[in-house]
Amino acid sequence: MLNRRKLLQGVATGVGAAFSSSLAGQQVFASSTTGTTAKRVIFFMQNQGFDPKTCIPEGMKQSGSLAKVKLPEPISALEPYKERLHIISGLHGTHTSPSHSAFFGALGGYRGGDGVPPSGSTIDHELGKALPETLLPHLCIGMDSLENMKAKPTLATLSASGAGQPIFMHSNPNHLYQMLYGGISTGDIQLQHEARSNLFNQIERLAASKGQSLPSTDQQRYGQYVQGFQDVNGLRERLDTVSDHLRKFAPAVDERYTKPEFETDWHDVLLDLGISAVTSGITNTLTIGSGRGEIFGSWKGVGVEQQGHNLGHMNQHGNPIWIKIRQYNSRMLVRIMQALESVPEGNGTMMDNTLIVYTSNNADKQHTNGANWPVMLLGNCDGAFKTGCFTQLDGKRPINALYTSILRAAGQTVDRFNMSEQLAKKFDNDSGPVKELMI
């Protein structure tokens, strides 16, 4: 049985951490509605590690072009998109202590751990602030087993807006659909949306009035709780004002939402919702957590009967189980690209101004020291990154440097991301972006 109080607190805190109150009353969209060019970044984080042998073409030992090589079987779905692909090996994250997972440290570039709160904001949140303002600066979705997604429809393990400020990811597509498109729906969805909205409005008013009687030491914490509901309600109102536009992008609701046969039914519709939020211009920063940043995860819908922690103790290279999981991931990446390519933008499409970052929240494998943190980039973010190539780095630059590179592409003048000069002396032999990746 879910604890109603904890569920409401999770919704309020999670949404409040993800939304900026400065957007209240504004109708802010990405370029799909304004006709201007706006960059966007999508992070796809697969748990259990990312073995470089599953993505580096056979025989490639040095940096070079992908044009005349064949991609490995696990990522073969990306073969038609090689000109947009950049495979990177040799970044490190030893300072994050990943082991089973670096949790918030994977996107934060700092020491993480199970149950350890974030020590700073993560790159996806920072990009949500750096890129042009949208109605929803940052959306996180998380994929797991059906049991876990139903028991914990919101969970925070990967993204944060600051020290001790986790951002919750959405794992129940029915809840997320109501949040994004409830105002334009009909039938039961509309009734549920209206009931939920009325409930949140009442809670906000009640919480605001009762909080004034609390001791001063508790008022700040209580204020964050109230702000969470204000942000939930504010987002709903802003989305309602652009309902005609949203109807063009809202996914069709089918039985996969209410009667999923496998967890991958929910994975697929969650991806649809994430894609629609990007293509509609609701957000320009999306984080996808396959396995939700933890050590669990389930993919029975693609023929993988085993699930959870044991998957991380298997060799991934040549393993039929991991080939299926990685192929499923690759097909998801293709779906994202195809959707973005279908939306005109500037002199091209939305994909021309997008960067997709595919990696793991614990480097190359389970129980890793993080010495090699493989990454695949898709797209070039309006010409900022090299594509169609493989880059082998020397292991002396951290994942923080990749995040610095992405911030530079977003127009931010930064030399380091979440790494002090003292820490850099030990873990980074340079500053600024990773030059081998940039145009």
Q: Is 388 inside any structural domain?
A: yes
Read off the amino acid at residue 139.
L
Tell me if 114 is assigned to some domain. yes
Cβ atoms of residues 114 and 100 within 8 Å: yes
Answer whether residue 68 is part of any domain: yes
Residues 398-415 have pLDDT tens digits of 999 999 999 999 999 999
CATH code for position 96: 3.40.720
**Confidence band of 33 (pLDDT split at 50, 70, 90):** very low
Domain span holding position 146: 35-176+260-426
By C-alpha distance, which of 8, 44, 225, 191 is closest to 124?
A: 44
Q: How far apart are CA 80 and CA 373, in angstroms?
A: 25
Task: Please return the burial class of 411, using the count of CB atoms within 10 Å of its CB with bins 0-12, 13-18 and 19+.
Answer: exposed
Residue 10 lies in a domain: no
**Number of domains into which the chain is organized:** 1
pLDDT score recorded for residue 229: 47
User: Is 80 exceeded by the pLDDT of residue 310?
Assistant: yes
| Alpha-carbon gap, residue 402 to 367, rounded angstroms | 23
Which residues pair with residue 398 across a beta bridge? 92
* In a domain? residue 201: no
Task: Give 151-190 as a 3 state SS string.
Answer: HCCEEEEEEEEECCEEEEEECCHHHHHHHHHHHHCCHHHH
Measured between alpha carbons, how far is 395 from 376 in angstroms, rounded to an integer? Answer: 16
∠ CA 404-410-416 to the nearest 5 degrees? 20
Give the other-Cβ count within 10 Å of 150's Cβ: 15
By the 8 A CB rule, do 270 and 171 touch?
yes
Residue 418 included in any domain: yes
Q: For residue 348, is pLDDT > 90? A: yes
* Contact call for residues 395 and 372 (beta carbons, < 8 A): yes
What's the pLDDT score for residue 5? 38
Residue 161 domain flag: yes
- Tens digit of pLDDT for each residue in 203-256? 545 555 555 555 665 555 555 554 554 555 567 677 777 788 888 999 999 999
Residue position matching structure tokens 């969470």 = 228
Amino acid code (one letter) for 364: D
Q: Contact, 332 vs 271, CB < 8 A?
A: yes
Whether 7 is in a domain gets the answer no
pLDDT in tens, 67-120: 999 999 999 999 999 999 999 999 999 999 988 899 999 999 999 999 999 999
| Dihedrals phi, psi of 330, to nearest 5 degrees | -65, -40
